[in-house]
Amino acid sequence: MQDYSFNEYFEKFPIAMAYVPWQTLTKICEDLDKGYHKGTIFPELDKPFSGRRCVK
């Protein structure tokens, strides 16, 4: 591997773009302690990791 400076190394890669849809948060968990334990108090964002993709 060649020795590149920090800037030279990253100049080889294109700038990335991301699409992030608007999130409509309509409800809050009734049991806030349970929501905090899950990492969110918004049921719409509670999508546990299943190893492949998000599920409800």
Tens digits of per-residue pLDDT, 12-25?
Answer: 777 888 888 887 88
* % pLDDT > 70, the chain: 84
Question: pLDDT band for position 45 (50/70/90)?
Answer: confident
- The three-point CA angle 25-21-38 to 5° equals 45
Residue 53 in domain: yes
Model pLDDT, residue 15: 80
Has this prediction a pTM greater than 0.75?
Answer: no
31: domain range? 19-56
Residue 36 in domain: yes
Residue 32 in domain: yes
Residue 11 in domain: no
Model pLDDT, residue 53: 62
Q: How many domains, in total, are found in the chain? A: 1
Distance CA 42, CA 14 (A): 35
Residue 6 in domain: no
Residue 42 in domain: yes
30 or 56: whose pLDDT is higher? Answer: 30
